[in-house]
Amino acid sequence: MSSSLSRLLLVAGVTFSTFAVPAVAADVLNRTVGQDLQAAQNALGAHNYKGAMAQVDKAAAVSGRSDYDDYTIAQMRAAIAAQSGDASAAIKAYDVLIASPRTPKATKGQMLMAEATMAYGAKDYATAVAASQRYLKEIGPNPAVETTLIQSYYLQNDFKNAAAAQKKVIDADLKAKKTPPENQLQLLATCQKQLNDEAGLTHTYVLLATYYPKPEYWAQLLHGLVTNDKLPPALQLDVYRIRLAAGNLTKPDECMDMTEMAMQAGLPQVALNLMNSCYAAGILGKDTGAAREARLKAMIVKAVADKKASIDAEAAAAPKAPNGNALITAGYNYVSFGDVDKGVALIDEGLKKGPFDMNVSKLRKAMALKDAGRTKDAIAVFETVEGDNGASDIAQLWILKLKSGQQTAQKAG
């Protein structure tokens, strides 16, 4: 119990420790009650909790007691119950004290917090919830009490209220420009899983990946993308690329598939860059497939040289194609070769002409800008990607990844 609540009272010729507020001048303790409580204090000092409580009960049986007598008896009962670990008895005594106009608001707050803490420790989660709610309503915000409330909901399997209370705390942190604690976000995600709240869960994992960019959080986000049955074949390369950027792509076969998809898309320099990233990450070049990987890389290096030799002719012919896809591919190749302005202009021409899928093509433009190091411009284009075929989901993950990278760079600077 808080020492700020303890004091010595000299009443009716006896002294005893109690958890009290100062008595007013007119308060006088009944002599018999005072003697019984002194005996209770002595027994408490000897850790004779049963004997101490018996003396309190004896004091409570004295006839003609005043309001002050009953208040002091409740104080002593609370002290004994709290020290003996009898949470139920302590909470009942605190309820008496909290209800009394003698108890100042600050002291009531301490008692309500003690109630919540004791009830939680005794696994009486319903009482812990009630005490926590009352504290927050009557006293105001308190991180420790909020945590007790959330945990008490959670341990009763009341995931709906646990999620709502935890989200309120997290939203307050975000509004105040504070980083939400990782364990709070994890608890919210667990509740949302139990509630099958897929939209809420995705948002929580976005926050986790934003503030704590660990592979496992990205894996959760990417799982929804990989299992999207609406995802067209044209976006499979993009899924691999965001997985690679998030550290979620770890198998040599996946790297090889990704590289071959880039080649099939007519982007040999992109394919080479991706393959080099896989080598740098230690995914390729280390096992029995190293020779096959080396042969593929040699083939891609030649394809890059061939594409550089033919790109001008391809770009000149692209406007004659029935749609804008050839222009977009040619433009991306120019960007990958370092001629960014020319490449972006061709991509824009292709978008204006009309590609087979506008959102997939906007994603291509954003990826080209990202590859060129124009992060701000890339984010702006990613933000225009719409639809429900997966292109928008991939764009949102790239926005998250790139903004997270910007924040890391700012902190490092």
The model's pLDDT over 193-207, given as tens digits with 9 standing for 90+, comes to 999 987 788 888 888
Yes or no: say if 103 and 97 are a contact pair by the CB < 8 Å rule: yes
Least confident of 224-233, 234-243, 249-258: 224-233
d(CA 413, CA 410): 5
Q: Is residue 90 part of a domain?
A: yes
Q: Is residue 330 part of a domain?
A: yes
Yes or no: say if 157 and 190 are a contact pair by the CB < 8 Å rule: no
One-letter identity of residue 341? D
Q: Is 247 in the same domain as 372?
A: yes
d(CA 231, CA 358): 15
Least confident of 9-23, 96-110, 394-408: 9-23
Q: What is the pLDDT of residue 211?
A: 87
Q: What is the pLDDT of residue 7?
A: 34
Q: Is residue 87 part of a domain?
A: yes
Q: Is 225 in the same domain as 99?
A: no
Cα–Cα distances in angstroms (integers) from residue 82 to residues 88, 119, 261, in the given order: 9, 11, 68
Q: Is residue 281 part of a domain?
A: yes
Instruction: Pull the structure tokens for residue 173.
Output: 């942190």
- Angle, nearest 10°, between helix axes 125-138 and 143-155? 150
Q: Is residue 52 part of a domain?
A: yes
Q: Is 99 in the same domain as 225?
A: no
Confidence band of 11 (pLDDT split at 50, 70, 90): very low
Number of domains in the chain: 2
Q: Is 257 in the same domain as 388?
A: yes
CB atoms within 10 A of CB 290: 12
Q: Where are the beta strands (DSSP E) in 219-289?
A: none
Instruction: Pull the structure tokens for residue 175.
Output: 């509004």
The residue among 77, 103, 129 that closes a domain is 103
Yes or no: say if 284 and 259 are a contact pair by the CB < 8 Å rule: no
SS3 state at 7 = strand
Q: Is 238 in the same domain as 378?
A: yes
Q: Is residue 270 part of a domain?
A: yes
The residue among 66, 85, 103 that closes a domain is 103
Hunting for tokens 């002194």 — which residue is that? 38
d(CA 380, CA 394): 14
Q: What is the pLDDT of residue 410?
A: 52
The predicted-structure confidence for 354-370, as pLDDT tens digits, reads as follows 988 999 999 999 999 99
Q: What is the pLDDT of residue 411?
A: 55
The residue among 103, 130, 164 that closes a domain is 103
Is 60 exceeded by the pLDDT of residue 274?
A: yes
Provide the whole-model pTM. Answer: 0.65
d(CA 43, CA 37): 10
Confidence band of 6 (pLDDT split at 50, 70, 90): very low
Beta strands 14-19 and 6-11, pairing class: antiparallel
Q: Is 93 in the same domain as 223?
A: no
Yes or no: say if 8 and 15 are a contact pair by the CB < 8 Å rule: yes
Instruction: Pull the structure tokens for residue 252.
Output: 């040599």
- Which of left, alpha, beta for 102 (phi over 0: left; psi -120 to 50: alpha)? alpha
Q: What is the pLDDT of residue 14?
A: 30
The CA R_g of the chain, rounded to the nearest whole Å, is 34
- Residue 187: which of 173, 208, 172 has the closest Cα? 208
Least confident of 153-162, 169-178, 222-231: 222-231
Highest mean pLDDT (candidates 23-32, 76-85, 136-145, 151-160): 151-160
d(CA 358, CA 364): 10
- Residue 78: which of 37, 32, 125, 39 has the closest Cα? 37
- H helices present in 31-104, as ranges: 31-45, 49-60, 67-84, 87-99
- Residue 145: which of 133, 159, 153 has the closest Cα? 133
Q: Is residue 62 part of a domain?
A: yes
Hunting for tokens 């007691």 — which residue is that? 65
| Virtual torsion, Cα 97, 101, 102, 103, nearest 10 deg | 50
Is 80 exceeded by the pLDDT of residue 373?
A: yes
Residue 62 CB burial class (10 angstroms; 0-12, 13-18, ≥19): middle
Yes or no: say if 413 and 248 are a contact pair by the CB < 8 Å rule: no
Q: Is residue 144 part of a domain?
A: no
Domain that holds residue 387: 215-412
